[in-house]
């Protein structure tokens, strides 16, 4: 699959692009089942909410679950990613952010590249985020909210914001959170918009776009897969120990597309 010139123009101008139902309801269901299976596997890759209850995020499921291995290599995803990068891509980070109904916490306003520059000494923002809606995302369950066009201003600020120290494992947006003063000017200039749609919809977004999300106050869970593709010529150059492999991928070989279908491979959980 290839993006049209108009879609590329929209991505470059707005910093995000929605591809409605890129994956079918059946494929979304297979990915949901794969996530439920993966979320049961204990380990550091499984992050729980601060109250210790529900799962907040699970990292690197693509190395454990065949459905995700197929998804990240799907021509429907890799085609547009290569077009936007104008080069070959590998997986920098893979995670599913699971906002449980009535309780999933929000994400502060931030720019992803600020975190990756700080934590991994990543040189250039030559990455593409691909958000795959495993559930319908609506106005109630904490959609990602973008400040459209804000990526064109570059990084608002570099380094920690003075909040809690960056975690060694994964950088929480609190570490790079933008302040109300930062946000007021940005929103006055660019406005706000949210990415919503049915399960299987995909949102491509720029690593420098300002974004965040509110807690899930609705009765609908919101599992959002975010896979970040990096240009193979932009591998991080960490100054100390690299972050754990489940947070930042170390296999920097160019990904090949696969014809493998996204179908359930194992008995669904629950
Ligand atoms: O899952 C969300 O609502 C936002 C996640 C996010 O902004 C991020 O992972 O960078």
Pocket of ligand 1, candidates 97, 137, 174: which has the most ligand atoms within 8 Å of its Cβ, to mutate? 97
The mean pLDDT of 132-160, rounded to a whole number, is 93
With a 6 Å cutoff on the Cβ, whether 97 touches ligand 1 is yes
Question: pTM, whole model, 2 decimals?
Answer: 0.94
Element (H, E) at 70: helix 66-72
CA–CA separation, 204 and 84 (whole Å)? 10
Share above pLDDT 70 across residues of the chain, in percent, rounded to a whole number: 93
With a 6 Å cutoff on the Cβ, whether 201 touches ligand 1 is no
Using the mean position of ligand 1's atoms as its centre, give its distance from the Cα of residue 238 in Å: 23
Q: Which tens digit of pLDDT belongs to each residue from 180-220?
A: 999 999 999 999 999 999 999 999 999 999 999 999 999 99
Are the C-beta atoms of 221 and 141 separated by less than 8 Å?
Answer: yes
- What is the number of other CB atoms lying within 10 angstroms of the CB of residue 12? 14
Q: Which tens digit of pLDDT belongs to each residue from 35-64?
A: 999 999 999 999 988 887 899 999 999 999
pLDDT at 267 > cutoff 60:
no
- What is the number of other CB atoms lying within 10 angstroms of the CB of residue 184? 10
List, in sequence order, every beta strand (DSSP E) within the chain: 16-19, 46-48, 55-59, 89-99, 107-110, 127-133, 144-146, 193-194, 202-205, 211-213, 222-231
Q: In sequence order, what DSSP letters do the residues of 7-33 get, joined into one string? A: HHHHHHHHSEEEETTSS-HHHHHHHHH
Are the C-beta atoms of 192 and 119 separated by less than 8 Å?
Answer: no
Domains and CATH numbers, the chain: 14-231 (2.60.120.620)
Are the C-beta atoms of 115 and 212 separated by less than 8 Å?
Answer: no
With a 6 Å cutoff on the Cβ, whether 211 touches ligand 1 is yes
Q: Which two tokens stand for residue 250?
A: 């170390």
Q: Which two tokens stand for residue 150?
A: 């804000």
Using the mean position of ligand 1's atoms as its centre, give its distance from the Cα of residue 116 in Å: 14
Atom of ligand 1 nearest to the CA of 106: 3
CA–CA separation, 263 and 243 (whole Å)? 32
Are the C-beta atoms of 224 and 58 separated by less than 8 Å?
Answer: no
Q: Which two tokens stand for residue 172?
A: 């929480």
Q: C-alpha angle with apex 167: 165 to 172, nearest 5 degrees? A: 90
């Amino acid at each position: 699959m290839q993006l049209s010139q108009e879609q590329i123009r929209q991505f470059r101008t707005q910093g995000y692009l929605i591809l409605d139902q890129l994956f079918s309801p059946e494929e979304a269901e297979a990915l949901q089942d794969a996530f439920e299976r993966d979320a049961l596997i204990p380990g550091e890759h499984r992050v729980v909410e601060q109250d210790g209850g529900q799962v907040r995020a699970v990292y690197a499921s693509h190395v454990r679950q065949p459905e995700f291995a197929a998804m990240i290599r799907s021509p429907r995803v890799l085609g547009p990613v290569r077009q936007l990068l104008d080069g070959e891509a590998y997986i920098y980070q893979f995670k599913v952010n699971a906002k449980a109904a009535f309780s999933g916490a929000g994400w502060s306003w931030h720019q992803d590249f600020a975190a990756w520059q700080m934590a991994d000494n990543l040189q250039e923002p030559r990455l593409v985020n691909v958000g795959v809606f495993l559930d319908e995302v609506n106005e109630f369950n904490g959609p990602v909210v973008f400040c459209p066009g804000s990526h064109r201003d570059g990084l608002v600020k570099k380094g920690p914001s003075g909040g809690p120290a960056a975690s060694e494992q994964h950088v929480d947006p609190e570490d790079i959170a933008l302040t109300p003063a930062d946000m007021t000017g940005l929103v006055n200039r660019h406005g706000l918009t949210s990415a919503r749609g049915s399960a299987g919809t995909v949102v491509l977004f720029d690593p420098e776009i300002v974004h965040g999300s509110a807690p899930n106050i609705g009765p609908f869970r919101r599992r959002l897969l975010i896979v970040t593709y990096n240009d193979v010529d932009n591998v991080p150059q960490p100054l100390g120990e690299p972050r754990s492999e489940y947070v930042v991928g170390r296999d920097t070989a160019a990904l090949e597309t696969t014809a493998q279908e996204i179908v359930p491979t194992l008995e669904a959980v629950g």
